């Protein structure tokens, strides 16, 4: 149609009542070929659509354009869809191992104390500080570690606590005197205080509800409870067969 016919058609649309955006219009120029017409959508005033009409110059209503489905990934005929992998249980194993390190380190050194005292030449009073420094730093900084976990983010605080704990353990194993060993044990307790709240927070986010949550917390609690006994056994084995420095 010509521009004059389109303008007359739009004027006819403006006169249409509310709720009836398309009406019959016999004012269109007869230059419209039979079987063609123009339709305007109210939500898109600038959108025109060519549609079939029974007679030239007559506009009829039509259904809206159907929505096209978004193309999906190509699938081989007869192939069954592969289920998505659930990595939460693998992450649960990592978190449980981190919690085991925290609990185990409080008891693993007890069996190695006589060997460390003889090697470093420390007194009985200083020997007790090897155990006390870890527990004191861990208990005193636990609330601060939870607050830092909120500020830094659970993932960042978990990685920072894990790396710091490993570095402090290495420094303690290479300690050449009593002061370095006690300082390394205190650093282990400080990083454990940062690691423990982030482990629990990540576990809560991974398993928010349902039966999986109960299973995950059951595994986590069992590992935490067994950590003390495992520490005593592991400490005795390492001291006997390797060296106290590995504890």
- Residue 162 has a pLDDT of 93
- Residue 147 has a pLDDT of 92
- Residue 208 has a pLDDT of 86
CA trace torsion 53, 56, 57, 58 (10° rounding): -30
Residues with Cβ within 8 Å of residue 14, at least 6 apart in sequence:
none
In this prediction, the residues of the chain whose per-residue pLDDT falls under 70 are: 1-86
- Residue 10 has a pLDDT of 66
**CA dist., res. 112 & res. 189, Å (int):** 18
**CA dist., res. 2 & res. 22, Å (int):** 19
The enclosing H or E element of 27 equals none
- Residue 82 has a pLDDT of 53
Of 202, 240, 227, nearest to 101 (Cα)? 227
Q: Is the pTM value of this prediction over 0.75?
A: no
Q: Give the model confidence (pLDDT) of 80-106 as tens digits.
A: 555 445 688 899 999 999 999 999 888
- Residue 170 has a pLDDT of 92
β-pair partners for 39:
49
Say which DSSP state 28 is in: S
| Cβ neighbours, 10 Å, residue 145 | 20
Residue with tokens 């005929």: 77
Where does residue 30 fall: left (phi above 0), alpha (psi -120 to 50 degrees), or beta otherwise?
alpha
- Residue 164 has a pLDDT of 94
- Residue 74 has a pLDDT of 54
- Residue 137 has a pLDDT of 94
């Amino acid at each position: 149609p010509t521009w004059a016919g389109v303008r007359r058609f739009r004027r006819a649309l403006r006169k249409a009542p509310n709720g009836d955006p398309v009406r019959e219009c016999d004012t269109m120029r007869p230059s419209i070929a039979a079987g063609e017409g123009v339709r305007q959508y109210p939500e898109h005033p600038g959108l025109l659509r060519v549609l079939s009409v029974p007679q030239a110059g007559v506009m009829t209503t039509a259904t809206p354009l159907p929505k096209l489905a978004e193309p999906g990934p190509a699938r081989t005929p007869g192939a069954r869809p592969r289920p998505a992998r659930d990595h939460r249980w693998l992450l649960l194993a990592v978190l449980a191992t981190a919690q085991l390190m925290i609990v185990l380190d409080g008891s693993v050194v007890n069996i190695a104390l006589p060997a460390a005292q003889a090697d470093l030449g420390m007194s009985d009073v200083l020997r007790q500080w090897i155990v006390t420094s870890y527990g004191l730093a861990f208990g005193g900084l636990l609330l601060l570690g939870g607050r830092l976990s909120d500020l830094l983010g659970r993932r960042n605080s978990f990685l920072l606590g894990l790396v710091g704990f490993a570095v402090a353990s290495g420094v303690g194993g290479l300690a050449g005197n009593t002061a370095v060993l006690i300082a390394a044990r205190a650093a282990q307790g400080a990083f454990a205080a940062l690691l423990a709240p982030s482990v629990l927070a990540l576990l809560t986010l991974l398993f928010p509800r349902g039966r999986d949550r109960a299973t995950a917390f059951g595994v986590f609690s069992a590992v935490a409870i067994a950590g003390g006994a495992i520490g005593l056994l592991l400490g005795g084995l390492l001291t006997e067969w390797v060296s106290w420095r590995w504890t």
